[in-house]
């Protein structure tokens, strides 16, 4: 279609002389075909953009899970067995998890349910809520249960 002018579908150079001999109906058909080709090119460009957008949206999710899992493993392996909640929460890997924001809330909740640990600070920092009753403070299993209950009430899925 490159030989057609965009202004009216009339052929350029030597082909234009041959097209002048074509019936009006043929010239109109060429013009309709040219217009449809332009529309299809636009549709293809739009579809390519949509595919790129979808792929971009999916990639961070899988890499976020990988990053989260890597940071959890690092935190667990380097935090030591004993320590204050403050020391555990100030660990660089823990802080990196908090920095990942709301995207990791479902992952933290899953981790909390499957392996109760000191994720309360991270969950509170990200969600800005604290569903743990005062009488459960310091009791990891009860803390985990409170967060899982909150999860079910607020519709997070993992």
* 118: phi then psi, degrees, rounded to nearest 5: -85, 60
Poorest-pLDDT segment among 70-74, 87-91, 145-149 = 87-91
Q: Which residue matches tokens 């981790």?
A: 111
Quick check: 85 pLDDT over 90? no
Q: Can you give the pLDDT at residue 5? A: 42
* CA distances, 23 to each of 5, 6, 9, 30, 84 (Å): 18, 20, 14, 11, 89
* Res. 17 pLDDT band, cuts 50 70 90: low
* Res. 67 pLDDT band, cuts 50 70 90: very high
Q: What percent of the chain has pLDDT over 70?
A: 75
Poorest-pLDDT segment among 12-21, 90-99, 119-128 = 12-21
Q: Can you give the pLDDT at residue 3? A: 43
Crossing angle of helices 92-99 and 120-127, in 10° steps, is 30
Compute the chain's Rg from CA coordinates.
30
Q: Can you give the pLDDT at residue 146? A: 94
Q: Can you give the pLDDT at residue 7? A: 44
Calculate the average pLDDT of the chain: 81
Q: Can you give the pLDDT at residue 32? A: 94
């Amino acid at each position: 279609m490159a030989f057609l002018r965009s202004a009216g579908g009339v052929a350029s150079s030597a082909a234009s002389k041959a097209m002048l001999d074509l019936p009006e109906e043929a010239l109109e058909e060429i013009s309709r075909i040219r217009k449809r080709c332009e529309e299809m090119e636009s549709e293809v460009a739009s579809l390519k953009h949509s595919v790129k957008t979808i792929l971009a949206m999916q990639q961070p999710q899988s890499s976020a899970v990988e990053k989260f899992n890597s940071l959890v493993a690092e935190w667990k392996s380097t935090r030591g067995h004993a320590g204050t909640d403050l020391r555990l929460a100030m660990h660089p890997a823990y802080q990196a998890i908090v920095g990942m924001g709301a995207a990791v809330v479902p992952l933290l909740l899953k981790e909390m349910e499957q392996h109760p640990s000191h994720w309360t600070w991270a969950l509170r920092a990200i969600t800005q809520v604290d569903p743990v009753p005062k009488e459960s403070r310091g009791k990891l299993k009860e803390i985990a249960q409170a967060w899982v209950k909150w999860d079910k009430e607020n519709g997070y899925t993992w």
